[in-house]
Amino acid sequence: MNGSGHTPLFHISKRSALPWYLSWAIRLAAIVLALIVCALVTTLLTGVSPLGVYATIIQGSFGTVRKFWVLLQELAILLCVSLAVTPAFKMRFWNIGGEGQVLIGGLATAACMFYFGDKMPNALLILVMIVASIVAAAIWAAIPAFFKAKWNTNETLFTLMMNYVAIQLVSYFCNVWDRKGSGIVGIINPRTQAGWFPVIAGKEYLLNVLIVAVLTVAVYTYLRYTKHGYELSVVGESERTARYVGIKVEKVILRTMILSGALCGVAGLLLVGGTDHTISTTTAGGRGFTAVMVSWLAKFNPIFMVLTSFLLAFLSRGSSQIAQNFGLNHSFGDILTGIILFFIIGSEFFINYRISFRSAGEKEGSSHA
């Protein structure tokens, strides 16, 4: 014993792996705490009872059948972008350029609809849109991957910057395509509906949901059961090991980022061709960044990502409903989402680290986190 005067009040140390139920208990506690803080903030600002706040959050996603479909659509698109960034993350390649890759995919889709709308049959047009969006977004993602593989540039900064370039490109084409001069493309091909995806069973969002469901299984299989999936996780664990066992690291980086970009392109395609039929700088809507969280929280497991994207889509719909019902500025919804994300990210700290307080009796081994 060194005398309590020198012992700090608490210290932080890395935890060994927690059993799954404890780590999930911590995450659940974080969400509960986040919801309590959200309710407190809302109650203080509006005087509505906290229970009313929760009822409103649920109303945001389940209030009507249409709201439920919107939730599914939001879940599907967010999941699609998350699936896209996951292979790169597993490889420890921090692709935070999902936003830009989605936009470029969407821009390529919109360009096909705009230029070829009246020049080819619809089935062919949709095929061209699919190819164009996937190729464009894959190339967009391959650019930082190439630089990383060749010269080991910082992929975090590179992919982040590419987002802004993509936003400006979209903005530029909006100005080119809108010849009136108001800078807004509006709905593309409103009369001919050329390039609009077919609506299945009268449900406008069903096709997107089904496509993303198939993609989820595909990405899960790819990561878990294929040689490619194995190689990229080895590269992620240790590049040296990968080289030692004869994996061509540069090739894996490029290949994985092309896949990542291609899937982002699909998200852009589904947004522009499937539901929105327009393109603007807000088409991706920040999903490229939220997807990072979805993927991370689910520990890069595509099946768990269904749950985490549900959670984030549900909370964001709920926050928006709160803003609408209680007459608050719609930025208030963003504030609530921010509070919730803060707690969720914070919880990862408590899962990975233990905080040991100085106990009164200074008895070794009695401290519990």
Binding positions for other proteins, rule: CB under 8 A: 58, 61-68, 70, 175, 179-184, 186-187, 190, 271, 275-278, 280, 282-283, 285, 303-304, 306-307, 310, 320-321, 324-325, 327, 329-331
Q: What are phi and psi of 13, to 5 degrees?
A: -140, 155
Closer to other proteins at the Cβ: 101 or 280?
280
Residue type, 27: R
Closer to other proteins at the Cβ: 181 or 246?
181
Closer to other proteins at the Cβ: 56 or 260?
56
What region, left, alpha or beta, does residue 300 occupy, with left being phi > 0 and alpha being psi -120 to 50 degrees? left
Q: Rounded CA gap, 175 and 164, in Å?
A: 17
Q: What are phi and psi of 202, to 5 degrees?
A: 70, 5
Q: How far is the CB of 279 from other proteins (least distance, A)?
A: 8
Closer to other proteins at the Cβ: 179 or 363?
179
Length of the chain: 369
Q: How far is the CB of 175 from other proteins (least distance, A)?
A: 7
Closer to other proteins at the Cβ: 251 or 330?
330
Q: Rounded CA gap, 29 and 343, in Å?
A: 9
Write the CA distances from 91 to 17, 88, 133, 283, integer angstroms: 21, 5, 24, 28
**Nearest one of 266, 271, 295 to 281, comparing CA atoms:** 271
- Tokens 């001069």 appear where? 181
